Amino acid sequence: MTVQIITIDGPSGSGKGTLAAKIAAHYHFNLLDSGALYRLLGLLLFQKGLLNQIEAKLDQCIDYATHLDIEFKSNETATQVLLEGADVTNTIRTEQVGEYASKVATVPELRKALFQRQRAFIQHPGLVADGRDMATSIFPEAQAKLYLTASAESRAERRVKQLQGMGLDAKISDILSNIQARDKRDMEREVAPLKPAEDAYIIDSSTIGIDEVFKLMVDYIDSRI
Ligand code: DC
């Protein structure tokens, strides 16, 4: 039986993460948060002192990417993320680690090293894959391809709330300029840039709430799988 694959791509703060989790729960599908893989690799290379010398020590970095020692432990309410046995669940969500991830994400060899790891998430009965290039590079065969976007301003507001909810301090102007800089880097990079697949269903969530986006997504997915 074919494993159903649903991809959800889009910029950070578009609500992708929340919606991908809701969609995965709705269909009882496996969930891949590919951004977490880039964040984990960015954090690891930082910890190993390699983040600023990726080009010079590329083979060593590829080796870390290929053998990334990570674990996602989920229960009904949350997912704990372990890197080399240490709990980094909150650490990987910080802006700083987002920057590390964005840097790692521009290196074609490291993206390649994470390819198989992402494909391994294809498991019965299906997969919801959340990222930037899920439909365009990693799972081009997906039955349903969604692209979720929102204005930079509305994404910055949501991100501030999310960080505050985690007890972290956040200033909207800093977050907005981070988002704009990261969008530019993600969209303009040569390898696997952020863009909708030709056959993607595009949803702009700037002015509509999560419940409405969820409904649009489910209607579309039900027509495809
Ligand atoms: O979605 P996120 O904010 O957790 O992603 C972190 C960084 O990783 C972001 O700058 C883009 C990059 N990324 C990527 O290049 N490809 C993916 N499939 C997922 C994330």
C-alpha span between 42 and 93 (Å, rounded): 12
Nearest CA to ligand 1 atom 1: 35
Cα dihedral 27, 32, 33, 37 in deg (nearest 10)? 170
Please report the pLDDT score of residue 176 as a whole number.
95
Whether ligand 1 lies within 6 angstroms of the CB of 12 is answered as yes
Q: What residue's CA is closest to ligand 1, atom 2?
A: 35
The two tokens of residue 47 are: 């910890």
- Could you tell me if the CB of 136 is within 6 A of ligand 1? no
Number of helices (H) and strands (E) in the chain: give both, helices first. 9, 8
Annotated binding site: 10-18
* CA-based max dimension of the chain: 49
Q: Is 105 touching ligand 1 by the criterion CB < 6 Å?
A: yes
Which is nearest to 143 in space by CA: 15, 29, 14, 25?
Answer: 29
**Which residue positions form the known binding site for ATP?**
10-18
> Quick check: 14 and 150 in contact, CB under 8 A?
yes
Asked if residue 10 has its Cβ within 6 Å of ligand 1, the reply is: no
Residue 80, CA atoms < 13 Å, CB-side half-sphere: 7
Three-state secondary-structure class, residue 142: coil
Q: How far is the CA of 210 from the centre of ligand 1 (A)?
A: 21
What is the crossing angle of helices 210-222 and 16-27, to 10°? 50
- Compute, in angstroms, the gap from residue 77 CA to the centroid of ligand 1: 23
The amino acid sitting at 15 is G
For residue 108, the model assigns a pLDDT of 96
Which of 8, 9, 12 for a ligand 1 pocket mutation test, highest count of atoms within 8 Å of Cβ?
12
Q: Helix 95-104 vs helix 34-47: angle between axes, to the nearest 10 degrees? A: 90
CATH superfamily of 4-219: P-loop containing nucleotide triphosphate hydrolases (3.40.50.300)
Domain boundaries, the chain: 4-219
Give every residue of the chain whose pLDDT is below 70, as ranges: none
Taking the centre of ligand 1 as the mean of its atom positions, its distance from the CA of residue 212, in whole angstroms, is: 25
Q: Give the global pTM.
A: 0.92
**For atom 11 of ligand 1, which residue has the closest CA?**
102
The pLDDT > 90 percentage for the chain reads: 81
Pocket flag, ligand 1, residue 155 (CB < 6 Å): no
> What digits encode the pLDDT tens for the residues 148-206?
999 999 999 988 988 888 888 889 999 999 899 989 988 998 889 999 999 999 999 99
Residue type for 220, please? Y
Nearest partner of 133 among 150, 120, 119, judged by Cα: 119
Which 3 state secondary structure label does DSSP give 91? helix
DSSP type of residue 102: H
